Chain A
Amino acid sequence: MTVSNAIEVRDLTVWFGSGTERSDAVKRATFSVAEGGSFGLVGESGSGKSTILRAIAGLVPTWSGEMTVAGEPLGRKRSPAFYKKVQMVFQDPYGSLHPRQTVDRVLSEAMQLHGLTDIDRRIARLLEDVGLGTGFRFRYPHQLSGGQRQRVAIARALAPEPKILLLDEPTSALDVSVQAEILNLLADLRRERALTYVMVSHDLGVVGHLCERAAVMQQGEIVEVVTVESLRTGAVTQDYTRHLLASAIASAR
């Protein structure tokens, strides 16, 4: 079986500040995600997992190393073609939607930017796909709940029909009951559209639900890359991973 890799990251180092102020948020991270695969990045807050996603998306300019996404080696700038293949869903649904734009405006602008036609019909179908009726189409964000907003954000990310979705803690700002809905939606969408996911989460349960493999991060370094199976059975090699697992089990009780 020859499955090409959707994402390959080698020796990725990301830093903020310069000179003596410089601090490395990510240190020589290396991992790869197979096409159609789902990869989790787990760790405490501040471990650099979101920074990896932002570096891939092109939101952090200060990085070194090699990143190849969908066969395209990444430089300082991202091409429009890149944004058609890779999209991102942000953590905070309250901050990721423009407060003065209706759902319709958000989605139609994304589609216009990607040069899509037949926008009217596409928006209706997209809203259907993420489980929002057309009744939500002309609402403003303040007329939506957190879960509904996150669905709109997912719809926006899906607007250019990307192959890869970067998910930055997509459920952590939501109520527990809504979290499950969004996770199921993401799982369904991945199956229907054959998407590749890279998901950041501090919640091992969420990663276990959605991912097949995961990298455990601590202080900017990838401690180990494990399969979700081995997370479930506890067959992990590093102490830190064991520690994370133990605290996850403790908080689940």
Chain B
Amino acid sequence: MSEQTLRQWLLSDEPTSRRQARLSAWYQGWLAFRSNTLAMLGLLILVFLILCALFAPLLATHDPFTQDLAMRLQPPGESGYLLGSDSLGRDIYSRLLYGARISLYIVLLVAMVAPLLGLVIGTVAGYAGGWLDVVLMRITDIFLAFPRLILALAFVAALGAGIENAVLAISLTAWPPYARIARAETLTYRNAEFIHAIKLQGAGPIRIITRHIWPLCLSSLVIRVTLDMAGIILTAAGLGFLGLGAQPPSPEWGAMISEGRKYILDHWWVATIPGLAIFAISLAFNLLGDGLRDVMDPKGGTQ
């Protein structure tokens, strides 16, 4: 290894270990991703938001919950309020930073629950076929037939308002498309010769689904999830806006817009600034998703 650089080691045509082969595949993906300027922009915005959320206590200039009615509705830049203050005199900039934590928390939870649920249901339905496929897919259809926000509203109404319930509601409404995608992918692969080949080695259905079909569905699912993140954030914000997501005084961005609505004509910043934040994070996820599609889609040509 002393003779060659790390880069040469990573790009070697003849990897000499499992680790090198895997790292090499990742590195080539990264190189392809890096050449996509817009995707990199999305990633940068996201990294920036994550850093903001992580270091919110250090970056914030005020306590996000402290009210100061004498200083209410200050325009941006005045009296030490970087992005102005809201109707209760709370610093919008600080609330924005803490709100990033909530948004990322929602995104993370939904991203862990919904695609996994969809993946399991979709691949099992696709691989098993027969009556199991019919039953699982009709359940999926039923969930798909409900308007997403309305179903989420019903869940929140039944379970009570709050972030966790909002996440649960969003997850329960978000999985059907993933199940559909996973099933469609599974159908294209279940009769592939490499699946027959591993069957002939004596592999059972669980092994085939989890170790041979999942890795193939994963890339299209990851892409779809990233592209859906914007929608998920907007749904979460929408629930917050309707007062069914995060509860006041929590600095959730949707709830902040909802509060600013009353003042939108005279004090535009109260609603606009959290709106811009939602816009930025949604855009970042969309750009990232597009970039990931270019890198990960096996039909994209590099294979």
- B216 an interface residue at 8 Å Cβ cutoff? yes
- Residues of B within 8 Å of A99, CB to CB, are 194, 216, 298, 303
Docked-complex contact A138 and B17, CB < 8 angstroms: yes
Question: What mask results when residues 200 to 228 of chain B are scored 1 for a CB within 8 Å of chain A, else 0?
Answer: 11110000000110011000000000000
Docked-complex contact A153 and B201, CB < 8 angstroms: no
Name the segment of A62-70, A82-90, A183-191, A236-244 touching the other chain.
A82-90
B187 to chain A, nearest CB (A): 15
Closest to B194 in A: A98
- A143 an interface residue at 8 Å Cβ cutoff? yes
A88–B200 alpha-carbon span in the complex (Å): 8
- B262 an interface residue at 8 Å Cβ cutoff? no
B3 to chain A, nearest CB (A): 17
Pick the contact of A102: B18, B202, B212 (CB < 8 A). B18
Name the segment of B8-16, B170-178, B263-271, B279-287 touching the other chain.
B8-16
- Residues of B within 8 Å of A80, CB to CB, are 202
State whether A113 and B201 are in contact (beta carbons under 8 Å apart), knowing that A98-B194, A99-B216, A142-B302 are contacts in the complex.
yes
Per the CB 8 Å criterion, the residue count for chain B at the interface is 27
Docked-complex contact A98 and B212, CB < 8 angstroms: yes
- Residues of A within 8 Å of B215, CB to CB, are 100
State whether A104 and B202 are in contact (beta carbons under 8 Å apart), knowing that A96-B193, A98-B194, A99-B303 are contacts in the complex.
no
A179–B201 alpha-carbon span in the complex (Å): 25
Per the CB 8 Å criterion, the residue count for chain A at the interface is 35
- A212 an interface residue at 8 Å Cβ cutoff? no
A17 to chain B, nearest CB (A): 15
Docked-complex contact B196 and A90, CB < 8 angstroms: yes
Docked-complex contact B21 and A160, CB < 8 angstroms: no
Question: What mask results when residues 54 to 65 of chain A are scored 1 for a CB within 8 Å of chain B, else 0?
Answer: 000111000000
Docked-complex contact B21 and A113, CB < 8 angstroms: no
- B132 an interface residue at 8 Å Cβ cutoff? no
Docked-complex contact A110 and B193, CB < 8 angstroms: no
Q: Please report which residues of chain B, range 246-303, place their CB below 8 angstroms from some CB of chain A when the two chains form the complex.
A: 298, 302-303
- Residues of B within 8 Å of A193, CB to CB, are none
A99–B218 alpha-carbon span in the complex (Å): 13
